[in-house]
A = this chain, B = another copy of it.
Amino acid sequence: MGIVLGANQYGKAEVRLVHVDRSTPRHVLTDLNVSTHLRGAFDATYLTGDNAAVLATDTQKNTVYAFARKFGVGQPEDFAIRLAGHFVESQPQVSGAQIEIEQLPWARIDDHDHAFSRPGGERRTTTVTRDGDQLWVIAGLTDLVVLKSTGSEFHGFPRDEYTTLPETTDRILATSVTARWRYSSTHVAWGEIYPKIRAVLLETFAGTHSLALQQTLYAMGGAVLEQFGEVAEIRLSMPNKHHYLVDLEPFGLDNPNEVFLAGDRPYGLIEGQVLREGAPAAGPAWQFVPGFV
């Protein structure tokens, strides 16, 4: 039985691009972490080291910086669409391209024209996939840490011989939301819809009386699909960041849900997809080459 090359992709990961729009004294700052992945007729380099088809990853990086100057950056979705299109259209051996972008947020200091501070943690994300003439756009956010100090229960679960967890009608619910939603079209007002979807995710987390983190996840995803017809599906990955109630009885103290230990590991991990029936197919949008991303 022969041995053959299977799925493959290559590109440049984590190109750190900071773009300053200085067209007015009120500078606009865009801070991106861009990764490119290409696929196509690259067998020769794997099999023999013949690089005639291999657009260097250094060239891909240069293209990111040059395009930022040539065309500006704008919304990360637009920037990614332009990059993906360029690689597929300019290089015949490239049949597909996937561009991933993380955007690091900056806020103005006291509404200053050119001074900014950067809240850490949460980032806006984009994954644009081009396969031949087809195009998919996924938007999202990651590391959005949220917590409810009440309004969360967990009970009614099965008890087998390894179950010791007590049932509770009041616990802390905390998670770090990673959400990615796929648009059904590539003509969306990316910059307008993003903060609205983010707001719906937050509101729904806050407003849902939770019987399980799964229920909260589905409520959040469902709310996005209900309110935004442009979204074909959404995927959420939500670690259950456990806050353990500390036993203070040995010290003669009660603990009416006041003092918690915030644990690091292990954590529950709840992942789910909410779909619109009849939505257009996802193709390779989620994973350009399954199992590698």
Binding site for B on A (CB under 8 A): 1-22, 27, 29, 31, 35, 37, 42, 45-59, 61-63, 65-66, 68-70, 90-91, 106, 109-110, 112, 114-122, 143-151, 154-158, 160-165, 172, 202-203, 205-207, 210-212, 214-215, 217-218, 222, 225-226, 233, 235, 237, 239-240, 243, 246, 248, 250-251, 253-279, 286-287, 289-292
Contacts and interface: CB of A to CB of B under 8 A. Distances in A.
Contacts of A257: 20, 22
A54 B121 contact: no
21 contacts: A1-B279, A3-B222, A9-B271, A10-B269, A12-B267, A14-B266, A16-B263, A18-B172, A19-B260, A20-B172, A22-B256, A46-B218, A48-B211, A49-B214, A51-B154, A52-B158, A62-B163, A69-B248, A115-B149, A117-B146, A271-B292
B10 A268 contact: yes
Contacts of A109: 146, 202-203, 205-206
Contacts of A269: 10-13, 35, 37, 57
Contacts of A1: 276-279
Contact of A268 (B3, B13, B50, B161): B13
Given A3-B226, A49-B212, A157-B54, A11 B268 contact: yes
B115 A210 contact: no
B69 A259 contact: yes
A194 B155 CA distance: 42
A243 B274 contact: no
Contacts of A147: 29, 106, 115-118
The 4 closest A-B pairs by CB, nearest first: A120-B121, A49-B211, A115-B206, A6-B273
Nearest to A260: B18
A187 to B, nearest CB: 19
Contact of A259 (B3, B65, B116): B65
Instruction: Pick the most buried of A9, A161, A217: most chain B CB atoms within 10 A of its CB.
Output: A161
Nearest to A14: B265
A200 to B, nearest CB: 11
Contact of A146 (B58, B115, B237): B115
B16 A266 contact: yes
Nearest to A240: B57
Contact of A277 (B4, B56, B114): B4
A232 to B, nearest CB: 10
A8 to B, nearest CB: 4
Given A3-B222, A110-B202, A251-B162, A289 B261 contact: no
